[in-house]
Structure 1
Amino acid sequence: MNLRHLMIFKQVAKDGSVTVAANNLLLSQPAVSRAIKEFEKELGLELFDRISGKIYINQSGKIILTKAEKVLMLIDDIGDLSHKLAQQKNLRMGATITIASTLMSQIIKMHERNYPENKVTVLVDNPTDIERKILNNELDLALVEGVSSEKEISTMTLSEYDLCFICSVNNPLAKQASVTIDDVLKERLLLREKGSAVRDTFDNYLAMRNISPEAVWTSVNSPSLVQAVSENLGVSILAADIVRNVRTKEDIKELNIENFKLTNSIGIIYRTDKQNHTGVKEMIEVVQKIIR
């Protein structure tokens, strides 16, 4: 039994004639007759009564026809659905916390304007988990800081941002034109969580100097660290863009640190085998317009 059998059976039942059904199906009469016989043989039922060279659907045929019509209708529904899904490109996108705080809203808004038929879901997570989800095909692409070392992942670097230290205006360091990194490390450190790009960059910088930072406050939320700094609970190192977006000049100061400059790159990562994925290419174009 196959779809061809069902379609021919339905047409013959509708037309009440093998000849008429063959014309409507653009098939030969013998081909239609053969298909009906094959279908009846497979079912072990006669679906038509044959009287004086004519055929009449019998009771068994009517019952089978009801089921056949449901199957064919379901097949049509699947065809319509597949067409709609082909037009609608669902995209699963990841972003690190820092990028989500500064860029994702602009990116999603532009993508919705340019591709209103597409649906984008966003997951905000740390770089390690995002990379794992890219590898496991749980995400199609992601905006992250840094470069992936995984062979199966491609990285497209787009830009970079500065990291800056901040302190309260009531902290003695705020009164100085410049300070050293040693001065800063004597303060209570309010840091992002381990595994975040900002924290990893800072930890790597200190590791090269055989220094292990001791954070008195660790958070995944940059604005909460800014708030804590404004209350003079310590100093923090964060993405400069985030600091400038959330701080007020009256209570926070960016420190000028001698011989100190740290940056993080911003890039798009995706599985290399998805480089020709239409949705991925469209999102990359949008991101490039926003960031470059």
Structure 2
Amino acid sequence: MEKKIALTDIMVFTFFALVSALCFIVFLLPIEVQELLKARSDNWNLLTFFTSTFVHANFEHLVGNVLAFLLLGFIVYGLNRESNCEKGFIISMFLAISLLPFIYNLSFVLLANIIIGQPLVSCGLSTVIAGIIGLIIPSLIIFLRDMLQEKRSDLYFSSSLIFLTGSAIAFPYINFGAYNLTVFITTLTVGLALLLHVAGKLLNFAKQNLNAKKKLVTASIAILFYYTFLFSLFPSNIVMPQGNIVNIFAHYIGVFYGIISGIYTLNVLPKNKKMLKIQLPKINDHGIKN
């Protein structure tokens, strides 16, 4: 049975529309204004840590980021909607657009000043997009929780996706030395071993239940999207038409922030709220606790 459009749906659609529109509006501003909105490592302006998210280098950069933002956003929201975690998703997205840029740009400034030793400029929605990609893992855990059935399987499944994430990130760099190759082989081996451990349980469950089979197919497609986009975030080198090199560091921060924050906002936070409701005593009309 399909869900009816709810207030949370309208809130999510409005959020996506506003963020996308803001990116286009900023792009139409004079170049001088756009430059002022970019985050610069030699200028600790906290406001630009936020505004730089909506600034893009060129039209291709803008369109690519907005399309990826919308596509991934709706995919992740769809998973959480099916799991009745719409509110958790809204919280996750609010933090991704408000807190994540500050975390990244603060790290970016420290990296540029302490390690690289030269001023750098940061802008674009890609950090938020990477955060949404990271949210796919905790979203899938909830989506398949009834099929995984126990916490140990949850742990194996989430760990497998995280290890395979490491292998996907390491893959473009395997020719750069034995260390990178070792990381790739190790994370790939462990990830596949853990995934195979839970795959049998998922397949057996799906054989007995048509709805579970549909969920497994949906989850498989989401995983395919996840790793496809992940590979696009972490090539050994991303160069834009003008010759500017995309800051891969932003993608690292975004993906792992999405995974870690999503585990809390989509998994831990809802459980804590349920526990709070259970523990709070109820008081009747006579002031007596039940």
**TM-score (norm: length of structure 2):** 0.19
Structure in which a larger fraction of residues adopt helix: 2
Larger Rg: 1
**TM-score (norm: length of structure 1):** 0.19
